[in-house]
Amino acid sequence: MTAPHGTADQYEQRQDEEWQRYVAVVPIDFYGMRAYNPGDPVPVSAVVESGDPTGEPGAPWVRREWVTEQAGAQVQSQTVPSPEPPTIDPAAVAAPPAAAAAPPPDEPSPDGTVITSSED
């Protein structure tokens, strides 16, 4: 049985084709909210090739004059930086040394009740 989108490589290729053709040249808003800033990739399926958008759900809505076509280059957003790998603090993830002191045991108080350590 074949997946509806083909193999993973085929799906990835179609995603690359969808997102690497157009780049916004002006700020583009969608119902009053910023959707794309200049330099951001814009999906092919959102761009109206000619005429006005139809207004149907899922129909292209970005005017062709709001984007520029890239010639096979990798498109990287100008406003959203590439994620950097997280910095891992070894002290936060390392196990305590074997010689670490154990938490104090529960001790009875002068009135006979038990004081419980909150270090667990």
Render pLDDT for 101-111 as a digit per residue (tens, 0 to 9): 666 666 666 66
pTM for the whole thing? 0.55
Largest CA distance in the chain: 86
Contact 36, 77 (CB under 8 A): no
pLDDT tens digits along 4-47: 778 888 888 888 888 999 999 999 998 889 999 999 999 999 99
Find residue 108's DSSP bridge partners. Answer: 114
Tell the burial category of 71 from Cβ atoms under 10 Å away from its Cβ (0-12, 13-18, 19+).
Answer: exposed
Q: What is the pLDDT of residue 3?
A: 64
Tokens of 92: 């936060």
What would the mean pLDDT of 62-69 be, rounded to a whole number?
Answer: 92
Domain boundary assignment for the chain: 8-69
SS3 helix, strand, coil % of the chain, rounded to 5? Answer: 20, 20, 60
Please determine, for residue 95, whether its predicted confidence score (pLDDT) is greater than 80: no
User: What are the angstrom distances between the C-alpha of 96 and each of 62, 87, 120?
Assistant: 56, 20, 14
